[in-house]
Chains A and B, each alone.
Chain A
């Protein structure tokens, strides 16, 4: 790891094709800053991107990266980290990718607590497929496939994470650049699964959950000196409070032990001998 890494080193030479004003620009910048601030460089970083407008992030960033199947980014990230715990693993995708088609993996990735970072670029809409309801869309949000709104409550990702035993739950806002980068940095530094739900507005298809809406409704927990992120019950109250949108690290379990540590995974599994292991005949003898 070199110490003179700048965040622009994480930029690829592909120009983003996101709509001008899309929240994903800010979300990505914050991620790159956080990676650089934590001493990582593109050669030891592995980014896994979902499918969606958000998932294009893999193309615009420069690092080892995988851009896979819709909804399956989390297991790929976990596999990378288990096979080489020296790598910095960051997974990023949309709200549809993470909470709809990939919801099952989300619950289990949280439980597994692999030491990696998960950034959900939550615009409360399906952007790439041009504006259908997502699992975080409001109950009355009218879209092409839900003309009268989905008529079902949005999922509360943080509650889902808490219920699944999360060790780090945070939320940020892409246009609050400094705070967003700080929060992602804390997620990276957390020993375990660092989950950050990022409000990353879609300026083209979502006219409800807009920059103005988040600016007006965001409450930053960092401004509340009494707030204790290690207090599970306090975290639970905030997470279940539907009247506000919170920014900051909402919950962190101080006793988090990441999966790799629990399972004694320290080796880079890419290194193997050029023949069978020396004592391999013992494997055969077991069958006597």
Chain B
């Protein structure tokens, strides 16, 4: 378990919490420390509590924990909201001159550092820098060399001119000096630095970067939390590669624009969250039936309906696996870490084109708002392979024409995969349709052809099942009879939970599943285990249901659906307790 340090800044939405937190996270990353961040926030732009939390260690950190060592509290509510996580000796930095913070109660056993953030900031050039003063104070508490803040201040304020950067650097130093001069308390923290270079990014950015690496050229979307960052990342970057981002009038248009782009031959993508997935489901069957490659990202949030738009949930699994009328072949991938968001996006594009099938990429809010550090080599661009599948050109199209020189976009093949000809290819003109069709793409209601086309489309999934690895990720003690399975973003918390459990003498074998459909066959491992627990962020246990069906047995479940992701220490407790319980039907 990493010797970690947990830090947070909290206040009102609109207080600049996010950007301040990010500056600190970046400084830690620059100092060669690993970082894992999370956000507590309300969806209102102004008003309402919000916090940016940073967990850091010299080792990789992959989860949040229920512990807070240093808290910068801009409002009294920030302290109340975090009482459970604060502990004896926790340091709370606050500005006692701020009207709302006057006479604020510091809980017993904790250290309150009253730092006149605003006055110091004003002295150094403007009240707006008060959060940076607080960062300086935090550096003093954590014994973190303030020089590391400099480069992230430059990154953040460089565009506003050197004077602003310099003012901020001074404001940070003034905050640090104030603590040194006014408190002779011995703080226990000592944030070691290393020479390692890390990059710091969130899941949405990793998806966007994966798309660019994979040759995505066309993105259509409609803004929605927590998927908007994908669109914002691509905007301004995709153009450098000759691509384009279009903001559609709604998700119905977004997916149809993307579909158009894909029919024209571009690698195309859209990203949304639950409410948008509902609208896109209208077109989902068309994508599959017309055999159009398309990547659809669902950055899940708490539902149903508008639910809790800024809260975590993995509630859309059934929608992605079963959604849409009729029977629709599809792939559903669920990256398990921020770095995996990159790799699975690349894979999604290849799968989409190799099998001419829509691919859902299931991410979630926890991953979208987490900034996590990685060695840059984790995103090895040289290793990116692009497989466009069976594309024909002017020279090869003849192999796929009938005796009347008509192209067969839905040719019946052994592996189910038919040729694709991009518009502009001579002799390749054809119709793509949501109607059942023959090999040429012409409407048909012929009973035999109907069966042949349905079988052919499903055969693509069978082929993919055979040809692709669909591997799962394994952690802990693979010989243990205690098997824990999760999907998507829960991996980090569970990996760290293994350490907590080990301390209590409990071994677990943990399988993290990045493929929902098709998925690895877990029936044997499930059968061999004494106890099986499926962990997921939803109420009903959607993945657990699927696994029970696969393995024809009962599993135990740990579900969380209060809107907050799993925390490693809390999850360890849940696992321990669940292991001791009988299965309830």
Contacts and interface: CB of A to CB of B under 8 A. Distances in A.
Nearest to B290: A66
A268 B260 contact: no
A98 to B, nearest CB: 14
B264 A79 contact: yes
Interface residues of A, number: 58
Contacts of B259: 66, 68, 76, 79
A275 B384 contact: yes
Contacts, number: 219
A69 B434 contact: yes
A65 B256 contact: no
Interface in B391-409: 404
A5 interface: no
A273 B215 contact: yes
Interface stretch (B110-118, B140-148, B237-245, B530-538): B237-245
Contact of B265 (A71, A270, A280): A270
B431 A283 contact: no
**A interface secondary structure, majority:** mixed
Nearest to B151: A288
B109 to A, nearest CB: 39
A116 B429 CA distance: 18
Interface stretch (B70-78, B193-201, B479-487): B193-201
A50 to B, nearest CB: 11
A272 B215 contact: yes
A58 interface: yes
A76 B255 CA distance: 8
Nearest to B394: A43
B178 interface: no
B433 A80 contact: no
Given A64-B428, A284-B199, A83 B264 contact: yes
A75 B222 CA distance: 13
Interface string B223-266: 00000000000000101011110101110111011111111111
B453 interface: no
A96 to B, nearest CB: 16
Nearest to B376: A284
A263 to B, nearest CB: 6
Contacts of A190: none
B385 interface: yes
B261 A80 contact: yes
A219 interface: no
A277 B213 contact: yes
Contact of B258 (A14, A79, A107): A79
A58 B424 contact: no
B359 interface: no
Interface string B420-445: 00111111111111110000001100
Given A72-B283, A284-B199, A269 B264 contact: yes
Contacts of B209: 283-284
Contacts of B376: 281, 284-285, 288
Contacts of A76: 256-257, 259-260, 263
Given A75-B253, A84-B422, 18 more contacts: A14-B442, A44-B424, A59-B443, A62-B429, A67-B435, A68-B256, A71-B252, A74-B253, A75-B257, A79-B262, A83-B266, A84-B424, A105-B249, A108-B248, A269-B266, A275-B382, A277-B213, A280-B381
5 contacts: A43-B424, A69-B286, A76-B260, A81-B264, A105-B256
Closest 4 CB pairs of A and B: A79-B260, A270-B265, A272-B215, A287-B199
